[in-house]
Amino acid sequence: MKSAQNAPRPISISPETIAKCDGPDQFQNFDRVFRSVIAVPKTAIEKAEAKWKQQQAKKRAKKAN
């Protein structure tokens, strides 16, 4: 059984955003909006990785001393 911490968080999409998804290209519009809400920019990922690497280097340095 999954704990509450591991459960995915629901996303909220504003009514204005939902309205943008209507029309003949409904799937493509919703896909674009969904990706803009969910997708994490590459720079944010790189920044998080750099921070993690820096923390790991500090841990290794602390263990070496």
Give the pLDDT confidence of 1-60 residue by residue, as tens digits: 555 567 667 667 777 777 776 777 888 877 877 777 776 777 888 899 999 999 999 999
Q: What is the pLDDT of residue 50?
A: 95
Looking at per-residue pLDDT, the higher value among 10 and 62 belongs to 62
Is position 6 within any domain?
Answer: no
Q: What is the pLDDT of residue 32?
A: 79
Tally of structural domains, the chain = 1
Structure token pair of residue 3: 């704990």
In sequence order, the 6+-apart residues with CB closer than 8 A to the CB of 38 are 11
Is position 36 within any domain?
Answer: yes
Q: What is the pLDDT of residue 5?
A: 65
Query: According to DSSP H, which parts of 21-41 are helical?
Result: 26-38
Q: Quick one: CA torsion of 43, 48, 49, 52, rounded to 10 degrees?
A: 160
Q: What is the pLDDT of residue 33?
A: 76
Is position 57 within any domain?
Answer: yes
Is position 27 within any domain?
Answer: yes
- Enclosing domain of residue 36: 15-64
